[in-house]
Structure 1
Amino acid sequence: MSNKTQNNYHGPVALKNVASFMAMTYRLIERPPHLPGFGVCHAPSGYGKTYASIYAQNKTRAIRVEVGDSWTRRSFLRAVMHEFGETIKERAPIADMATRVIAALGDDTSRPLIVDEADKLVDKGMIEIVREIQEKSGAPVILIGEEKLPAKLLTVERMHNRVLDWFPAQPCDLDDVRELARAFVPKVKIADDLLDAIRAQSGGRARRIVVNLAHAAELARNTSSASLDLNAWGGERFFTGEPPKPRQIELYANKSVRAA
């Protein structure tokens, strides 16, 4: 997970998922030519998949695109070429566009193609064009998606047996939370009991953990505290991602009518 905040911390946070994503990336880059060229990273939202992929992009000069809801095959191919710094004519034939992408990736097969939100390509029946690009270029391709992405790929016969490495991103553990706290709240010493409570209440999701750490920093600032533990947290609410429960609006309205 990367960070650039008012705390003047710059760069990625060394979470375990970042290290595992990099290991998968290098395994694909360094694989023998006869091995499959796809890697798949999957997990629920908030596990830090995107941040891990951005770190890998910076380290390996990978081409990275994030699939949009409205994308077509043409949109996808144009986005890849845009990352190469090239443009494609609006009405260029899809076959010609694919040929240009294959040639660009094939020029340096140590540069992976990272496709975030790859579930959308499978849902729209567009994943075959990614398979064609990988096979003809020889470049490694990493697909990133939600937890059901592997199951979706199993429905595409020519895809699932071309995956060399499946990487299920893991929820943050206490060590990861400590790293996030050091990065995002460096001026506050947060005790392990509070960090572990934040981890549990956040479901191990890095995005939620960061929100809770921001609240911890605010609490420390408001109380002029240099350190916090679970006891100091007191009755503060944890951010869990759950929406508030519905209010009994009609009950309130009926009471006001009777009072009138």
Structure 2
Amino acid sequence: MHDQGAIMSKRTTQVNSAAMLKNVASITEAVEHALNRPSHLPGLVCFHGHSGFGKTTAALFLTVQFRAYHVEADSTCSRKELLLDIAEKMGLTPTKTIRELKGQIGEQLAASRRPLIIDDAHHPARKGFLEILLDIYKKSRDQGTIVLIGEPALPLELKKHFERIDNRILRWVEANPLDMDDARVLRDFYARGVMVGDDLLEEIHRSHAGCTRRIVIDLENVREKALAMGLREIGLDAWRDEKPAEPKKAIRRVG
């Protein structure tokens, strides 16, 4: 049986660590600004950037920090499926029609004062039904806060195809590659129990161009290898000696 206290402690540490990442701090400030905005300002926020730059980590932090309703859109979802997912996150008993669902969700968004996060919002954007979220926002009597998270092209798609959403974006936040300060935050959390040298951390950061996901994977690999070797500290030279060889590319023969 899992120790629930230990699990909660780890989650708390993870949330606290995420708060120190610059991308997380930027989107947190933007959402807080939207939640506390004057009534004459719109309440939509767009968080965009390349895969692996920590947008999902930020979304999970926002979910905890603001008790946000976090919904992940996918490439196959329809209008009604997205609305049903939102209603489920809100703990609502969904009504039958799309029109009624939008009203139900909008009312809950206004009453709860909790943000709605739509992760991978580029999927409904490409399918042409992102404006359903604008309908929800209007049903909240413009009191709700909605955060759209997506790929780098999401702002351009909003400007080209969803002008009514574009002109209601209060803050645009771009997820940037992690810098070395961010990498040290990840090291302190994901490589606990092993001191990963700055030279090795710099090499990991450089080789992955600041990609959060790849840095985390390498830190976990380093940690596991160091512990297996009985090491409490590991630097670049030791890691190079022990790092598994990269798979060789297949040679294509002609003739």
Classify the TM-score, shorter chain.
0.7 to 0.9
* Residue 198 to residue 24, structure 1, CA distance change in 2 (3 Å): same
| Structure 1 counterpart of 2:178, one-letter code | C
> d(CA) in 2 for partners of 1:144 and 1:111?
16
**TM-superposed deviation, 1:141:** 0.5
- The reply to whether residue 67 of structure 1 matches residue 70 of structure 2 is no
| Structure 2 counterpart of 1:42, one-letter code | H
Deviations 1:171-212 (A, max 9, x none): 111111111111111111111111111111122111110110
1:54 paired residue number? 60
Alignment equivalent of 1:76, drawn from 79, 82, 86: 82
1:102 paired residue number? 106
Alignment equivalent of 1:93, drawn from 73, 92, 97: 97
1:257 paired residue number? none
| Identical pairs, percent | 34
1:142 paired residue number? 147
1:201 paired residue number? 207
Instruction: Using the TM superposition, name which of 169-178 and 217-226 deviates more.
Output: 217-226
> d(CA) in 2 for partners of 1:238 and 1:62?
41
Alignment of 1:1-260 (within 5 A): 9-10=10-11, 11-12=14-15, 13=17, 14-89=20-95, 92-108=96-112, 110-137=113-140, 138-155=143-160, 156-234=162-240, 246-248=249-251, 250=253
> d(CA) in 2 for partners of 1:180 and 1:68?
28
Larger CA Rg, structure 1 vs 2: 1
**TM-superposed deviation, 1:250:** 4.8
* Residue 174 to residue 131, structure 1, CA distance change in 2 (3 Å): same
> d(CA) in 2 for partners of 1:125 and 1:115?
15
* Residue 57 to residue 107, structure 1, CA distance change in 2 (3 Å): same
| Structure 2 counterpart of 1:149, one-letter code | L
| Structure 1 counterpart of 2:51, one-letter code | S
Size of the alignment, in residue pairs?
A: 242
Structure whose residues are more often helix by fraction: 2
Kept in 2, the 8 Å contact 1:9–1:184? The answer is no
Residue 117 of structure 2: SS of its match in structure 1? strand
| Structure 1 counterpart of 2:153, one-letter code | K
Kept in 2, the 8 Å contact 1:81–1:87? The answer is yes
**TM-superposed deviation, 1:238:** 9.0
**TM-superposed deviation, 1:233:** 1.8
Give me the TM-score of the superposition, normalised by structure 1: 0.85
| Structure 2 counterpart of 1:94, one-letter code | I
1:258 paired residue number? none
* Residue 51 to residue 231, structure 1, CA distance change in 2 (3 Å): same
| Structure 2 counterpart of 1:105, one-letter code | L
| Structure 1 counterpart of 2:147, one-letter code | I
* Residue 118 to residue 197, structure 1, CA distance change in 2 (3 Å): same
Kept in 2, the 8 Å contact 1:67–1:117? The answer is yes
Residue 93 of structure 2: SS of its match in structure 1? coil
* Residue 118 to residue 245, structure 1, CA distance change in 2 (3 Å): farther
Residue 144 of structure 1: SS of its match in structure 2? strand
| Structure 1 counterpart of 2:180, one-letter code | L
